[in-house]
Amino acid sequence: MRRVLSVAIIAATTAAFLSVAFAHDTWISRGKLKNAAGEWCCGEGDCFVVNPVHETGSGYELINGEFVPFTETQPSPDGAFWRCKRPDGTRRCFFAPPPGS
């Protein structure tokens, strides 16, 4: 019985997480948001929340050591940090709340 309950809780948590992630792909996709090079920011499943993020004087340092300058950052309407990637994993777009917030 405990095992069934544990599996059910894990499945519900996973479903809730995936629905939130896909919902945010939708606001990025619906906004037809592009990066400075003119590329669409995302397709289905290309964007995800990034935490923790450290703000520096000129941009953001991500947990994986990647640095994103403020000039390559777009405003995040939900106040979260979002990274959109290309199929090869490189950054296509980055969304962040305003600096200092």
Predicted TM-score (pTM) of the model is: 0.70
Beta bridge partners of 47: 84
| CA dist., res. 16 & res. 18, Å (int) | 6
pLDDT per residue, tens digit, the chain (101 aa), is: 655 334 334 333 333 343 344 444 567 878 888 999 999 998 668 899 999 999 999 999 999 999 999 999 999 988 999 999 999 999 999 999 976 66
